[in-house]
Amino acid sequence: MNKLFQDLNDTQQEAVKHIDGPLLILAGAGSGKTKTLTSRLAYLIGEVGIDPANTLTLTFTNKAALEMRERALKLIDNKTSYPPLLCTFHKFGLLFLKFHIEKLGRKNNFVIIDTDDKKRLLRTIAKELKIDLSASFVASEISKYKNSLLSPEIILEKAQLPDYQKVAQIYEAYQKNIVENNLVDFDDLLMLSYEILDQNPILRKEISQRYAYIMVDEYQDTNELQFKLLSHLASEHQNLCVVGDDDQSIYGWRGANIRNILDFAQIFSKTKTIKLETNYRSTKAILDAANTLIEHNSSRLGKKLVSHKGEGGEIKVIHSIDETHEAKTIAGEIKALLAKGINPKEIAVLYRINALSRSLEEGFTKERLGFKLIGGMRFYERSEIKDIISYLRVIANPHDDFSLLRIINKPKRGIGKSSIEKLQKMAFEAHSSIFDIHNKIEPKIIQDTIGKKAYTSFMQLVQDISTLQDESKAGHLSSLINIFEEKVKLKEYYQSLPDGYERILNIDEFYGYFRESVLLNPDLLLEEFLNDISLQSEQDQLEEDTIAIMSIHAAKGLEFEYLYVIGLEEEFFPLLGDDCNLEEERRLGYVAITRAKSHLNLCYADSRFYKGKRKIMEKSRFLGESSLIQNSSLKITKSTAFKKGDLVKHKIFGIGRIQSISSAGKEYKLLINFGGNKKEILSSFVQAV
């Protein structure tokens, strides 16, 4: 047998041998998608005889691109004189612009600015326009606009809310600045490439003919702009092979459009769809839970993972009283595993919300378990938490200039860099701390030196900290946090940032932990609390082989023999609310479960800190939807076998096509187009054609 096919199953071989026309490879978790994709590239070049220069394979990370290139070349017997173009979307955009940006009237010696450069420029522009908005928020909004092909002119015309009108003004000035200085930001790499192809039909035809065979990895993560760019690149031949899993589409919050994969076969006519359903990672018990859970989603193409490994042990559900009990239980089990000789690299704990990592970090530290936090920073290292700790340090010790300088403009108080430098200089010359400077130097001299506005703001900060000091010294720690938030309004400050929701959850987690500490020890001193945190936040240097703690998003693509998923409670996992997509939450659950190879533990607690207070939690509906817990009180969202675009038959109206699906009590309401006559019909009254 050709070595290209010897490790491939029948459906993988079928995908590899497909040459012309659109191909959708639905690759379930652990089904060997990378092997299939690289084998197909090797087949086109090494067996069919396609010139490597006529192929283009696009990925989302440089690491994935490098791995695929190496694996594909190993499969080709006769090494080509040059490798195929296998790179990220943005690397392709860079290469394309180097050759063609002049068609937009710009020179090809442009410079790419990174995220920090972009924010720095946005801050300068905002200052010039006298607009007080977070650079992170503005950068995020501009990125969304560019990935939706929305120009500053369109945003200026359509923006209605005051903050977004201000963003539009900054966007206009920002775009003018980077064009004048021949700069290109990360989003421009794709946006400008698309604009050039869109405006130049002859070039579009030439480029499409050059890249006659296009493949895309992780297609479910593509956004609107990437889809449009791919449509232009494949416009002459439709030889577009996309590999992805609609059940693992978990990046809607950052612009990924699941419709790209769901509607692929409708958009590209004569699409061949191949499902890779043999899973080489997990046992049958784990896959049964994943399959049962994801079947509750209506927006999916449908597939069922089958285990190559066999039955395996049962999934364990761990019930804890609270997060401290949960962390202690998990830490105890992991210590037992390590004692048996299990490699810590094969153990991981996942969570949906970053704030849940605090109890794990503390529990593991107490048990002297080495761990690493992947894809994020430790709880006490997060900027919003360091801000609160810095405030508390100043309350405990007002002469701590280091901590005071961190929080002097958080929230923003209009005390500029120059004013801060002058305060530092005066304090140094007066042998005083910055906080105490008003007791050493005449107020009028301070005001004349730093200006009236900065002086007023500084003295308000001094007064607020003094009030909080009085509470602390009087032993009123139980009310300190409430007064602190009332005076400082730190949550209000962070709420305006793009990731404000997560940050506020972290702040609430800290506030709740503070209150709980005081409740358990009414005589607790603020200094003692801060010292305890210092011990918690300092971890010995870790060896590389340690237990992984991470969010489910960070775990995508990884696998572990022993897996714990915590926080399976309503409002934590799934997240609930107007901004949450329950089907995407369920896909996150599917991703979490399918990270486990043999031992899966799903954990829930009776109570947790929620928005700064201890709250009785309700078990996650996902435990019921996975058929792991039979409990009449659990919410189980009814599934539907129908999806948008399906043909259905009604006994009165005949055959129609589903246009949309929405929940309606215990079943689903379908908007169906019966030959121009649109009706909303409950799903139980129609059948698939």
Catalytic residue among 17, 34, 165, 679: 34
Residue 434, amino acid: I
Cβ of 245: how many Cβ atoms within 10 Å? 27
Q: What is the pLDDT of residues 141-157, one digit of tens each?
A: 999 999 989 999 998 88
The residue-averaged pLDDT of 69-83 equals 74
pLDDT of the residue at 640: 55
Cβ within 8 Å of residue 608, ≥6 positions away: 322, 323, 356, 567, 569, 572, 614, 615, 617
- Looking at residues 427-450, what average pLDDT do you find? 85
Residue 410: count of CB within 10 angstroms of its CB = 18
State the pLDDT at residue 234: 95
pLDDT of residue 80: 62
Q: Which two tokens stand for residue 182?
A: 């021949």
Identified catalytic residue from 11, 12, 13, 33: 33
Q: Which of 141, 218, 295, 326 does the annotation list as catalytic?
A: 218
Q: Which residue has the higher pLDDT, 78 or 379?
A: 379
Which of 13, 38, 248, 283 is catalytic? The answer is 248
> DSSP assignment of 499-542, as one string?
THHHHHHHHHHHHHHHHHHHHH-TT--HHHHHHHHHHHH--PPP
* 680 membership: H or E segment, kind and range: strand 677-682
Q: What is the mean pLDDT of residues 77-91?
A: 78
Mean pLDDT of 429-446: 85
The contacts of residue 188 (CB under 8 Å, 6+ apart) are 146, 178
The residue with tokens 């087949």 is 43
Higher-pLDDT residue of 549, 495: 549
Confidence bin at 405 (pLDDT 50/70/90): confident
Specify whether 326 is catalytic: no
What does the pLDDT average to over 417-428? 87
Q: Omega into 498 within 30° of 0, i.e. cis?
A: no
Neighbour tally for 219: CB within 10 Å: 28
Mean pLDDT for the stretch of residues 470-487: 83
Mean pLDDT of the 500-526 span: 84
Average pLDDT on 429-438 reads: 86
* pLDDT at site 376: 67
> How does the average pLDDT of the chain come out, rounded?
87
Distance (Å, rounded) from C-alpha 393 to C-alpha 468?
11
Residue 77 pLDDT class (50, 70, 90 cuts): low
Residue 567 has pLDDT above 90, yes or no: yes
- Known catalytic residue: 33? yes
- The dihedral region occupied by 310, where left means phi > 0, alpha psi between -120 and 50, and beta the remainder, is left
> 217 catalytic, yes or no?
yes
595 is catalytic: yes
Which residues, 6 or more positions from 79, have their beta carbon under 8 angstroms from its beta carbon?
73
Torsion angles phi and psi, residue 661, rounded to 5: -130, 135
Give yes or no for residue 191 having a pLDDT over 50: yes
Is residue 563 pLDDT above 90, yes or no? yes
Distance from C-alpha of 495 to C-alpha of 535, rounded to nearest angstrom? 29
* Nearest alpha carbon to residue 623 among 351, 416, 359, 319: 319
pLDDT at residue 541, rounded to an integer: 36
Choosing from 217, 245, 288, 583, which is the catalytic residue?
217
Nearest to 56 by CA among 45, 67, 71: 45
Q: For residue 594, which of 354, 350, 371, 372 has the smallest C-alpha distance?
A: 350
Residues near 285 by Cβ (< 8 Å), separated by ≥ 6?
A: 311, 312, 313, 314, 315, 600
pLDDT at 78: 56
Mean pLDDT of the region 621-628: 92
pLDDT of 662: 74
Picking from 571, 638, 28, the residue whose alpha carbon sits closest to that of residue 297 is 638
Q: Would you say 69 and 84 are in contact if contact means Cβ atoms under 8 Å apart?
A: yes
| 557 band by pLDDT with thresholds 50, 70 and 90 | confident
Indicate which residue of 393, 586, 595, 597 is catalytic. Answer: 595
pLDDT at res. 498? 67
Mean pLDDT confidence for 160-183: 89
Q: Which residue has the higher pLDDT, 255 or 14?
A: 14
Q: Give the C-alpha separation, 87 to 189, whole Å.
A: 13
Most confident of 143-152, 225-234, 360-369, 653-662: 225-234
Contact 220, 557 (CB under 8 A): no
Q: Cβ of 421: how many Cβ atoms within 10 Å?
A: 11
How much is the average pLDDT of 503-526?
A: 85
How many whole angstroms separate alpha carbon 416 and alpha carbon 422? 10
| pLDDT attached to residue 366 | 86
For the chain, percent of residues with pLDDT exceeding 90: 40
Answer whether residue 527 shows pLDDT above 70: yes
Higher-confidence residue of 83 and 89: namely 89
Of 6-20, 477-491, 540-554, which has the strongest mean pLDDT?
A: 6-20
Helix, strand, coil distribution of the chain in percent, nearest 5: 50, 15, 35
pLDDT grade for 622, boundaries at 50, 70 and 90: very high
pLDDT of residue 538: 41
Task: Name the pLDDT band for 645 (thresholds 50, 70, 90).
Answer: confident
Q: What is the pLDDT of residue 537?
A: 47
The length of the chain is 689
CA dihedral 252, 255, 258, 263 (to 10 degrees): 160
Structure token digits, residue 457 = 């703001």
- What pLDDT was estimated at residue 535? 54
For residues 381 and 354, give the distance between their C-alpha atoms in angstroms, rounded to a whole number.
Answer: 12
pLDDT of residue 156: 86
Nearest to 55 by CA among 46, 195, 64: 46
Asked if residue 107 has pLDDT above 60, the reply is: yes
Q: Assess whether pLDDT exceeds 70 at residue 36.
A: yes
Among residues 307, 331, 118, 102, the alpha carbon closest in space to that of 203 is found at 102
Amino acid at 547: I
pLDDT band at 597 (very low <50, low <70, confident <90, very high): very high
Section 347-367 average pLDDT: 90
The string of DSSP letters for 362-427 reads: HHHHHTT--EEEESS--GGGSHHHHHHHHHHHHHH-TT-HHHHHHHTTSS--S--HHHHHHHHHHH
Checking DSSP bridges between strand 55-59 and strand 213-216, what pairing results, if any?
parallel
Residues 575-584: pLDDT tens digits?
887 667 888 9
Q: What is the pLDDT of residue 409?
A: 85
Separation CA 113–CA 97 (nearest Å): 15
Higher pLDDT, 182 or 611: 182
Q: Please count the other Cβ atoms lying within 10 Å of the Cβ belonging to residue 341.
A: 6
Weakest-pLDDT range from 25-34, 47-56, 269-278, 408-417: 408-417
The per-residue b/e assignment along 345-355, b for 16 or more CB within 10 angstroms, e otherwise, is ebbbbbbbbbb
Which of the 8 DSSP states describes residue 44?
A: I
- Model confidence over 279-326: pLDDT tens digits? 999 999 999 999 999 999 888 888 999 999 988 889 999 999 999 999
